Amino acid sequence: MLSYQHIYHAGNPADVHKHAALAAMLDYMTRKDKPLSYIETHGGRGLYRLDAPEALKTGEAAAGIGAVADAAALAGTPYRAVLDEIRAVHGALAYPGSPLIAARFLRAGDAGHVAELHPQEHAALVAALKGTPLKVHRQDGFGMAQSICPPTPRRGLMLIDPSYEVKAEYARIPREIAGLHAKWNVGVIALWYPILTGGAHVPMLAALEAQGLPGALRHEIRFPPVRAGHRMVGSGLFVVNAPWGLEAELDRVAQLFGG
């Protein structure tokens, strides 16, 4: 039974890191006049309200986007532009999840596929993505990704953003990424992972780095726990075939949280 709901965490420092990276990569990749595919394995509900009781209960957004939205380091970035566009339509306390950020960049001729397994999150995602080119699949995200790859168009980006509710995911991910890269060697594959005090991500990163994947970029930021006793003290991204300029863009994000 899935219990994770991203509304408790939307807009936290890790979301700012991941979503700024996603917007920067898609902004860069859509500058070229060639179609692309966007694939996302764990979509969430697409659109969040930061004044929802669940978001207010944890206060995570206040420590994330609430604290840094107007920082100079975000000014003029693709992420800030998407945030402004979504808030102009849905209100100042709206927060776009990754599928909605991606939808903002896709052009006619681009293709998009997002998986979400949780029934309520899936229904909300379908509603949030209405009128966009993204297709929503209610199935296991890795199953969807493996069946689509190599996608048409062949150029493209995949975001893998699991909830890590099931500890076996840490061992599964390097195998899944190896398989996806073997089928789709030109694909940009971006994995998000939490940095927890217990170091659960460490063996997973060691296994990923041991694969020697091309153009691999590992980028991590650290931040204080969003509340007393919270075990997440940082956010990590591991990107295969990382687009040009991503590292510099992410170093700007790191400044927001003190490195």
* 110 contacts ligand SAM (rule: CB under 6 A): no
257, two tokens? 């949280």
Are 38 and 156 in contact by the 8 Å Cβ rule? The answer is yes
User: Min. distance of Cβ 156 from ligand SAM in angstroms?
Assistant: 17
* 176 contacts ligand SAM (rule: CB under 6 A): no
Per CB under 6 A, the segment of 42-50, 64-72, 77-85, 196-204 that binds ligand SAM is 42-50
Can you give the chain as a three-state secondary structure string? CCCCCHHHCCCCHHHHHHHHHHHHHHHHHCCCCCCCEEEECCCCCCEEECCCHHHHHHCHHHHCHHHHCCCHHHCCCHHHHHHHHHHHHHCCCEEECHHHHHHHHCCCCCEEEEECCCHHHHHHHHHHCCCCCEEEECCCHHHHHHHHCCCCCCCEEEEECCCCCCCHHHHHHHHHHHHHHHHCCCCEEEEEEEEECCCCHHHHHHHHHHCCCCCCEEEEEECCCCCCCCCEEEEEEEEECCCCCHHHHHHHHHHHCCC
Are 237 and 192 in contact by the 8 Å Cβ rule? The answer is yes
* 154 contacts ligand SAM (rule: CB under 6 A): no
Strands 232-240 and 188-196: antiparallel
- Single residue of 27, 60, 110, 161 touching ligand SAM by CB under 6 A: 161
* 6 contacts ligand SAM (rule: CB under 6 A): yes
The yes-or-no answer on residue 70 being catalytic is no
Per CB under 6 A, the segment of 40-48, 57-65, 74-82, 85-93 that binds ligand SAM is 40-48
Give the separation between CA 124 and CA 129, rounded to whole angstroms.
Answer: 9
User: Min. distance of Cβ 200 from ligand SAM in angstroms?
Assistant: 15
Q: Which residue is nearest to ligand SAM (CB)?
A: 97
* 116 contacts ligand SAM (rule: CB under 6 A): yes
* 175 contacts ligand SAM (rule: CB under 6 A): no
Per CB under 6 A, the segment of 114-122, 147-155, 172-180, 247-255 that binds ligand SAM is 114-122
Residue type at 234?
G
Rg (CA), the chain: 17
* 98 contacts ligand SAM (rule: CB under 6 A): yes
* 201 contacts ligand SAM (rule: CB under 6 A): no
* 118 contacts ligand SAM (rule: CB under 6 A): yes
> Number of residues in contact with ligand SAM, rule: CB under 6 A?
18
User: Min. distance of Cβ 105 from ligand SAM in angstroms?
Assistant: 15
Question: Between 110 and 121, whose beta carbon lies closer to ligand SAM?
Answer: 121
* 4 contacts ligand SAM (rule: CB under 6 A): yes
Give me the active site residues, please.
Answer: 161
Binding-site annotation, residues for S-adenosyl-L-methionine: 19, 42, 98, 116, 140-141, 161
Binding residues (CB under 6 A) for ligand SAM: these are: 2, 4, 6, 18, 42-44, 97-98, 115-118, 121, 140-141, 161, 163
